[in-house]
Structure 1
Amino acid sequence: MNTIDDKIVVKEYFNATGFDRWRRIYGDGEVNKVQLDIRTGHQQTVDTVLSWLEADGNLSGLSICDAGCGVGSLSIPLAKSGAKVFGSDISEKMVEEAKDRAKESLGNVDNLTFAAQDLEGLSGKYNTVICLDVLIHYPQDKAAQMIAHLASLAESRLILSFAPKTLCYSLLKKVGEFFPGPSKATRAYLHREADIIKILEDNGFSIQRNAMTSTRFYFSRLLEATRQ
């Protein structure tokens, strides 16, 4: 499967079967044990990013692009803290859900905008660009191109999360492939941390903070990089 096919599969998945599954995971309703574990892990990653930005003490008024925003799990609390947020996602259904959740949580605000758009189509300049749990859909040969594009949008900082390619996680991925199920219809790509850091450095960024979220079924390496 080539990259274009991957993108089409991801878009169709998150506008159909995947939308229903991940809307439940990213919500607060009843889910099964695996989905609850993933919900917990994802929220830990979101909370870590929020804690980093809040610790800097300048979140109010900061321009942020939440690339691959899903249902707004990060965009909404960022906007609530006063940041000017643009959230995008490849899935139209995810974006509509994010808009509904934002309206319910924030009402009508002018510092939060959502759009259905893939990463390659993003434009503009932002103080901070954040891309969480999206690299898992990109094969290694396209990750550098995608990260470089996101870096070109970031005036000061780029925050990425990815599933790290280690022996342990590679084995877990192999085991998971034996049980695909109807709701796991996209490929999952792991990435070596050294490769991601090299890509960031090649685009003029250096690592400032890092974290690791690891639960039974969710694992994500988080890197904050700033312009040198």
Structure 2
Amino acid sequence: MSETYHQRRALLLEYFDRTAIDAWARLTSDAPLNPIRATVRAGRDAMRNTLLQWLPERLDGMRLLDAGCGTGALSHTLAQRGANVLACDLSPRLIDIARTRGAEARQSGALEFVVCDMLDVALGEFDCAIAMDSLIHYQPATILAALEALAQRVRRSLLFTFAPRNALLAGMHALGHLFPRGNRAPEIVPIAEKALIRGIGASAALSEWRIGRTQRVARGFYISQALELVRK
């Protein structure tokens, strides 16, 4: 991956592991939130449910990658459905939260949390990889390169989300620039859906893959779009 990818990754680690760890832990729990963050929680819940609906109800015998698992809500559900889940994140503190929350969960599959880059080839091969809001901070070329790298190790389907380019999202970004730099999350990069799909179609590394389902989720300050790639 490019130097830009690693630079951005370092910013994400700083933010999620240090600056915003308490806020992120609260956001992904059932603790009370202010109205703005409540819409983000509702949006993330809706997006997670969308991705889960795209997978079989039972995942017994399947090996899944939760790429950028955060506090592990998606990972826990996948394991409850019978999957063997490898859940990874850059942030050791988020992984600690995920392990704690899943300690007493009943699972019919297996669940392992690992602190590492989601593109690490040492993680092995998977039937399916899911990257929910893990690529939204990267430029289109970097997203495409990440998909190409993941696709080499995935046998069936690759589900990911991106920030769709629209006027509302642009306005939110402009508003975010009014806050002090120390309080800002790493910038989300809006992506034109048609351009992203053209890039996927033109990629030699993704020639064995086709576009599947797509679904946009918008809840207040949360706007994200899911896209499914399926091996032909």
Give distance in 1, aligned partners of 2:69 and 2:36.
Answer: 22
Q: Equivalents in 2 of 1:136, 1:142: separation in Å?
A: 10
- Cα displacement (A) at 1:57: 4.6
- Corresponding residue number in structure 2 for 1:114: 113
Equivalent residue for 1:99? 99
Distance 1:178 1:187, change over 3 A: same
Does the CA contact (< 8 Å) of 2:209 and 2:229 recur in 1? yes
1:180-219 superposed matches below 5 A: 182-201=182-201, 202=203, 203=206, 204-219=208-223
| One-letter identity of the residue aligned with 1:225 | L
1:106 Cα deviation after fit: 3.1
CA distance in 1, matches of 2:31, 2:215: 28
- Contact 1:79–1:111 (8 Å) recurs in 2: yes
Pairwise CA distance, 1:58: 4.5
* Aligned equivalents of 1:199, 1:104: Cα separation in 2: 43
RMSD (Å) for aligned C-alpha atoms: 2.0
Partner of 1:130: 130
- Structure 2 counterpart SS, 1:197: helix
User: Is it true that 1:50 corresponds to 2:49 in the alignment?
Assistant: no
Deviation string for 1:170-209 (max 9, x for gaps)?
2332222223574423122111212332343321321221
Cα displacement (A) at 1:29: 0.9
State the percentage of identical aligned residues: 29
List alignment gaps of at least 5 residues for structure 1. Answer: none
Q: Which moved more, 1:35-44 or 1:195-204?
A: 195-204
Q: Which amino acid aligns with 1:50?
A: L
Which range is displaced more, 90-99 or 174-183?
174-183
User: Map of 1:40-189 to 2, 5 A cutoff?
Assistant: 40-53=42-55, 56-106=56-106, 111-122=110-121, 123-179=123-179, 182-189=182-189
TM superposition score normalised by structure 1:
0.90
1:7 alignment partner in structure 2: 9
State the one-letter code of the partner of 2:115. Answer: A
Q: Is the 8 A contact 2:27 2:37 kept in 1?
A: yes
Equivalent position amino acid for 1:13 in 2: Y
CA distance in structure 2 between the aligned counterparts of 1:113 and 1:81, rounded to whole angstroms: 15
Q: Is the 8 A contact 2:140 2:196 kept in 1?
A: no
Shift in Å, 1:2? 4.1
Specify the SS of the correspondent of 1:219: strand
> 1:12/1:127 Cα in 2 relative to 1: closer, same or farther (>3 Å)?
same
| 1:37-77 CA distance string (max 9 Å, x none) | 10110010001111221xx3542222110100000010001
Q: Is the 8 A contact 2:44 2:222 kept in 1?
A: yes
Q: Aligned partner of 2:218: which letter? A: S
| Stretch deviating more after TM superposition (95-104 or 109-118) | 109-118
